[in-house]
A and B are shown apart, each in its own frame.
Chain A
Amino acid sequence: MFSFLPALIFPLLSGLGELAMLAGETLRSIGRGRIRVGLTLRQIAEVGFGSQLVVLVTGAFTGAVFTAQAYFQFASLNMETAVGPVVALSMFRELGPVLTGLMVAGRVGAAMTAEIGTMKVTQQIDALRALAVNPVDYLVVPRALAMMLSMPLLVVECVGLGVLASYYVGVQVLQINGVYFFANIQKFTMSSDIMMAVIKGGVFGALIVFISCREGLNAKDGAVGVGRATTATVVTSSLAILVANFFLTMALNIIFPAGQ
């Protein structure tokens, strides 16, 4: 009855093992100081600066639409001023990190896999190794550093613009009392909520970069294989973010209990 389980579990475990090994190798390289500053800065520009527009638009419109929906529901209960904290908390604790992660996985993760995968199938990675350059040091370390530095900042930007958009829609468009709206956000949003957003951003960044690099480094069978690897990156990263988000929420809620 459960004969399909091995076919499902073994690739999953093997994939997780490869990810853990790649992460371990990357951390060891960073620990040995094998950091290429120029390449890392270029990746920060690519990952962080280049993703701003998509992340800001996502944050702004999510904040705006969430505010509108919350207002339509809360207005019937005369609880309009609760819209601000509900939106802010949701953005900090869940929507900001998850949506930023999904957008970055689609934009940056796919590009990383395509670039590294193309290098793999055109023997450029073999050329790196033949020139005594470790591909993890040269390709993965700069991307990992860039992603883990940029993702928390992108999450903060996404949440910040989401809350600003929420304020604009709630106060300017839907005529919620601005003073109460803002005061309630201040009252119910703690520094622990910001910490949660930042930590989730870092973890999602790590998931995206290691999944993307692993898929790229394992690409084979020419252009078709690179396309397959790129698709696998977006799907796997997105699912990993959604699954990890649940466990992170449960774990971080122990460290940073909601409302305290």
Chain B
Amino acid sequence: MRNEPLIHVQDLVQQIGAQQILRGLTLDVQPGETLVLLGKSGGGKSVLLRHLIGLMRPVSGSIVFEGQEITTLTERELEPVRRKMGMLFQDGALFDSMNVFDNVAFPLRERGERDPGVIRDKVAQSLARVNMEGHDKKMPVNLSGGMRKRVALARAIISPPDVILYDEPTAGLDPIVSDSINRLIRRLQRELNITSLVVTHDMISCNHIADRVALLNTGKIHFQGTLAELRETPDPIVRDFVDGRSGETVY
């Protein structure tokens, strides 16, 4: 028997201009699992993540996080909810006016921590978790894409959240850096028992980190299951995505 889902999304609809991005999407995320959300580029995966942390409001539908409906909360009411969530943006979204140390220390300071010793220790611990020791004086502009994502992850986990939303964590990275990010996601889930929702179209990443997989197609969840079920399903839409077939015949 399954636990109560940590996040329950029901019939979520979102429209931007004339384009309907989400068309009644329903999805559950269980506590402690890593759910990988697959789908075509521009298919609404990132839009879904932005809804989960309250950065966008749906046209209709509901999102329940830890038993609380969040789509009706105001920006101020969302603050306690957001403290239980972390989000890794596609390019890290580090504050470019601050160095690595201040970026990672930012959530601590904003939550009232003033003791420089405590801040120093926690930042060092968080940077060590993402293998970024010794880079704390660097500015974001001097970091590579992979390093920026690691620092952003260190910032997201400095006050360990209940859930982390990863937006394309391996996009634009070489296979070796991608592999280290995948291992990092797995390690954080194991060590900190953080629930992870990972948006990607990288099948290698999916195979490394997923406990469960969902495929978003035309604004709805088309498939949900384990990795084994994903590999075995004969569903043509899933097969095309997993095997990387566009359906075009002309080169």
Contacts and interface: CB of A to CB of B under 8 A. Distances in A.
Interface of A: 118-119, 122-124, 126-127, 129-134
B76 A131 contact: no
A134 B110 CA distance: 10
B83 interface: yes
B177 to A, nearest CB: 21
Contact of B55 (A118, A122, A126, A134): A126
Interface string B57-97: 00000000000000000011011101101110111011110
19 contacts: A119-B95, A122-B91, A122-B96, A123-B89, A123-B93, A124-B95, A126-B55, A126-B93, A127-B95, A127-B152, A129-B55, A130-B53, A130-B55, A130-B85, A131-B110, A132-B80, A132-B82, A132-B107, A134-B79
B144 to A, nearest CB: 17
Contact of A127 (B75, B79, B89): B89
Contacts, number: 51
A122 B93 CA distance: 6
Nearest to A136: B75
B223 interface: no
Nearest to A118: B96
Given A123-B91, A126-B89, A131 B96 contact: no
A132 B53 CA distance: 10
Instruction: Please list the 9 inter-chain residue pairs (A to B) with the smallest Cβ-Cβ separation, ordered nearest first.
Output: A127-B93, A132-B82, A123-B93, A130-B87, A132-B79, A132-B83, A123-B89, A133-B110, A131-B107
B106 interface: yes
B86 to A, nearest CB: 8
Contacts of A132: 78-80, 82-83, 107, 110
Contacts of B94: 124, 127
A127 B104 CA distance: 12
A134 B76 CA distance: 7
A6 to B, nearest CB: 21
A134 B96 CA distance: 18
Given A129-B75, A130-B53, 5 more contacts: A124-B95, A124-B96, A126-B55, A127-B89, A134-B76
B75 A134 contact: yes
A130 B106 CA distance: 12
A129 B82 contact: yes
A118 B94 CA distance: 12
A127 to B, nearest CB: 4
A129 to B, nearest CB: 6
A20 B21 CA distance: 32
Instruction: Kindly name the residue among A118, A119, A122, A132 whose own CB sees the greatest number of chain B CB atoms within 10 A.
Output: A132
A247 B188 CA distance: 60
B103 to A, nearest CB: 9
A119 B94 CA distance: 10
Contact of B106 (A118, A122, A131, A134): A131
Instruction: Kindly name the residue among A118, A127, A129, A130 whose own CB sees the greatest number of chain B CB atoms within 10 A.
Output: A130
Interface in B92-128: 93-96, 106-107, 110
Contacts of A124: 93-96
Nearest to A115: B97
Instruction: Kindly name the residue among A122, A126, A129, A131 whose own CB sees the greatest number of chain B CB atoms within 10 A.
Output: A131
A124 B152 CA distance: 11
A118 B141 CA distance: 14
A122 B87 CA distance: 15
A130 B95 contact: no
Contacts of B79: 132, 134
Nearest to A130: B87
Contacts of A119: 95
A124 B87 CA distance: 12
